[in-house]
C-alpha cells in the first residue's frame, strides 16, 4: 500500500482555521507542494468569538513570499451562506476545489457538567461539527463533477475519554466528526472522493490551555509532523477513505471502532450482570467491523444465523447472505428489514 507522492501543482485547496497552529502548517505545506491555497480564518478567539482576516493574510503573505499562490478568506464556517461564498469564490478564481481541510475548531468556554454553558456548547458544535458538514456539502458537487476530491476532517483523541468532567462540548463535537467521517468516507469513493480524518496531537492554542500539556506538546509534538501526514491524506495517492488516524510526534496510526464476541443468548438483566466479563471481552478478542452491516452480521452470527462473525455483505444488490436479510435504504440512510 505504497505510492510515490506527486506534487500538488494542479490542485486547489481550502484550509479552514488556517491562520495559526496546525491550520497554518497545513496551508504552508500544501503551498510548498504546489497547491493553490484558500487560507480561511476569521481571526477568532479560542472561545469562538469572531475577529478579522488579518491573521490569515499574514499566512498568505508568507506563502506568496515563498513563491506560492494563495488568498485570504475571513468567512465564518458556521454560517451556511458564508460557507457557500468560500467555495464559490474559490471556484470562480481557480475553476475547482480539489482538497478541503476541515481544521477550524474552538474549545469553547469551559463549564461544568452540572451547570452547562449552552451558548458555548452550541458555538463549539457550530464550528467543529456543523461547519465541517456544511463545507463538505458545499464542495461535494464540484468534486463529484470532476470525479476527484480529498477531504480531511479533524476529530480528536479526546473522544477516547479523559475523565475530566465538564460540559463535554468539545469532545462531543469531535465524536460527531468521527462518525461523520466514517460514514461519508464509505460513500464518497464512488465519486472519486476520499474522506478521512485526523486526530492530531500538536502544539496549539488549545493545548496551551493546560500548562502540563503545553510543556509536552511544545517539546515533542511539532505541528509540522502532523502536517506531513495530513498532506499524505490530501494527496491523490491516499489509499483509503472513511478512516481516522491519531497523528503526532512523527507517528500516525489508525484509530477505529472494535467489538468483542460478548455474552449471547441472554434474556435477563441478572444474566447480563453475571456474565459482564464476557460482555466486556478482552483485547485478544477484538474484531474491527468494516462497516455497520458487518457489525450487524456479528450480532446475527451470535444468534446462529451465520457460522462466522465475519459474514460481510459483499454488495447492495441482494447477492450476499446478509443482503438477503438487510438492505441499506439509500433514501434515508437507514437499514431496514426485508
Catalytic residue numbers? 170
Note whether 159 and 178 are within 8 A (CB). yes
Residue 216 makes CB contacts below 8 A (sequence gap 6+) with none
3-state secondary structure of 196: strand
- Give the span between the Cα atoms of 201 and 196, in whole angstroms: 16
- Give the span between the Cα atoms of 333 and 338, in whole angstroms: 15
Note whether 107 and 170 are within 8 A (CB). yes
Report residue 167 as a C-alpha cell. Answer: 460540559
Report residue 156 as a C-alpha cell. Answer: 480528536
- Give the span between the Cα atoms of 61 and 32, in whole angstroms: 13
Note whether 326 and 335 are within 8 A (CB). yes
Report residue 244 as a C-alpha cell. Answer: 481516522
- Give the span between the Cα atoms of 239 and 2, in whole angstroms: 8
Residue 136 makes CB contacts below 8 A (sequence gap 6+) with 100, 102, 151, 184, 195
- Give the span between the Cα atoms of 20 and 18, in whole angstroms: 6
Amino acid at each position: 500500500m505504497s505510492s510515490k507522492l506527486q506534487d500538488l501543482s494542479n490542485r486547489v485547496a481550502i484550509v479552514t482555521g488556517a491562520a495559526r497552529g496546525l491550520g497554518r502548517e497545513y496551508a504552508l505545506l500544501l503551498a510548498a507542494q504546489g497547491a493553490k491555497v484558500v487560507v480561511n480564518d476569521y481571526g477568532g478567539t479560542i472561545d469562538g468569538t469572531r475577529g478579522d482576516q488579518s491573521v490569515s493574510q499574514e499566512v498568505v503573505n508568507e506563502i506568496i513570499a515563498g513563491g506560492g499562490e494563495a488568498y485570504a478568506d475571513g468567512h465564518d464556517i458556521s454560517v451556511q451562506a458564508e460557507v457557500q461564498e468560500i467555495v464559490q469564490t474559490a471556484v470562480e478564481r481557480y475553476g475547482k476545489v480539489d482538497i478541503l481541510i476541515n481544521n477550524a475548531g474552538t474549545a469553547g468556554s469551559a463549564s461544568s457538567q452540572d451547570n452547562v454553558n449552552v451558548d458555548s456548547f452550541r458555538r463549539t458544535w457550530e464550528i467543529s461539527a456543523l461547519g465541517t458538514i456544511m463545507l463538505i456539502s458545499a464542495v461535494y458537487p464540484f468534486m463529484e463533477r470532476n470525479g476527484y476530491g480529498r477531504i480531511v476532517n479533524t476529530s480528536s483523541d479526546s473522544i477516547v475519554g479523559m475523565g475530566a468532567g465538564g460540559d463535554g462540548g468539545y469532545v462531543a463535537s469531535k465524536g460527531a466528526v468521527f462518525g461523520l467521517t466514517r460514514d461519508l468516507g464509505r460513500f464518497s469513493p464512488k465519486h472519486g472522493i476520499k474522506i478521512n480524518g485526523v486526530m492530531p496531537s500538536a502544539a496549539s492554542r488549545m493545548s496551551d490551555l493546560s500548562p502540563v500539556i503545553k510543556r509536552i506538546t511544545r517539546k515533542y509534538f511539532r505541528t509540522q509532523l502532523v502536517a506531513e501526514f495530513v498532506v499524505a491524506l490530501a494527496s491523490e495517492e491516499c489509499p483509503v477513505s472513511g478512516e481516522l488516524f491519531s497523528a503526532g510526534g512523527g507517528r500516525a496510526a489508525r484509530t477505529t471502532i472494535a467489538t468483542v464476541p460478548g455474552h449471547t443468548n441472554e434474556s435477563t438483566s441478572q444474566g447480563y450482570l453475571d456474565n459482564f466479563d464476557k460482555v466486556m471481552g478482552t483485547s485478544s478478542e477484538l474484531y474491527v467491523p468494516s462497516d455497520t452491516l458487518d457489525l450487524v452480521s456479528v450480532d446475527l452470527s451470535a444468534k446462529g444465523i451465520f457460522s462466522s462473525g465475519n459474514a460481510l455483505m459483499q454488495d447492495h444488490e441482494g447477492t450476499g447472505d446478509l443482503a438477503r436479510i438487510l438492505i441499506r435504504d439509500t433514501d434515508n440512510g437507514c437499514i431496514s428489514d426485508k
